[in-house]
Chains A and B, each alone.
Chain A
Amino acid sequence: KAGVTQTPRYLIKTRGQQVTLSCSPISGHRSVSWYQQTPGQGLQFLFEYFSETQRNKGNFPGRFSGRQFSNSRSEMNVSTLELGDSALYLCASSYGTSGTIMSSYNEQFFGPGTRLTVL
């Protein structure tokens, strides 16, 4: 099976601009989660989408938004970019269903990330 793909891989923007990042999950996976990775804060959860609905949201400002399409592909948008938004943005996909008797966690498979640099 092909893995999770993210486009573009690298992006350079200036403050005030907006950006859209794309994530294509593994075939059959219906859940897509987004994480921000920075040297100072590590990996922080942004949001999760399942069957086109946002299922969970992290503590990020409203400038960060996302959506999921019927084919499970997801996009993440950041408006009015700030220098502090420079980061590696990772998406992860999973089946997203209720897991097993032992665990409610569905293993997530991560993409390679999009490196966003804000100048």
Chain B
Amino acid sequence: AQRVTQPEKLLSVFKGAPVELKCNYSYSGSPELFWYVQYSRQRLQLLLRHISRESIKGFTADLNKGETSFHLKKPFAQEEDSAMYYCALHGGATNKLIFGTGTLLAVQP
């Protein structure tokens, strides 16, 4: 079965601290993994995708097929990073995304 698991509902850190948002997936094939972000009162938007292997707003994520994980990391959290983060999986020919339940990141001053 295709599934995305985000074990933490809430992650609270202080400004300047490192951040790691966990994501594990289950998929019998070669999935594409994404991180989406939803800032307060804004639309859900794509943050990054594993095939791009790029850093967006200081965030990076590496696909680990052995551990079936795609954790999102940032070395130094900023208050403006506070948002809801969703890990998502795409597999197959259509555009269907399977989302995790999301992690609320709260960065304290």
Contacts and interface: CB of A to CB of B under 8 A. Distances in A.
Interface of A: 3, 31, 33, 35, 41-45, 48, 50, 55-56, 58, 90, 92, 94, 96, 98, 102-113
B99 A42 contact: yes
B97 interface: yes
Nearest to A104: B93
Contact of B51 (A35, A102, A110): A102
Contacts of A108: 46, 95, 97
B64 to A, nearest CB: 19
Contacts of B93: 98, 104
15 contacts: A41-B101, A42-B102, A43-B86, A43-B97, A48-B94, A48-B96, A92-B44, A94-B95, A103-B32, A103-B51, A104-B32, A104-B90, A105-B34, A105-B90, A111-B43
A79 B17 CA distance: 48
Contacts of A110: 43-45
A50 B90 CA distance: 17
B97 A45 contact: yes
Given A105-B32, A105-B90, A45 B51 contact: no
A63 B32 CA distance: 31
A90 B97 CA distance: 13
B43 A112 contact: yes
Contacts of A103: 32, 49, 51
Given A103-B32, A103-B51, A33 B96 contact: yes
Given A43-B44, A48-B95, A56-B95, 4 more contacts: A58-B96, A104-B32, A108-B46, A111-B43
Nearest to A100: B51
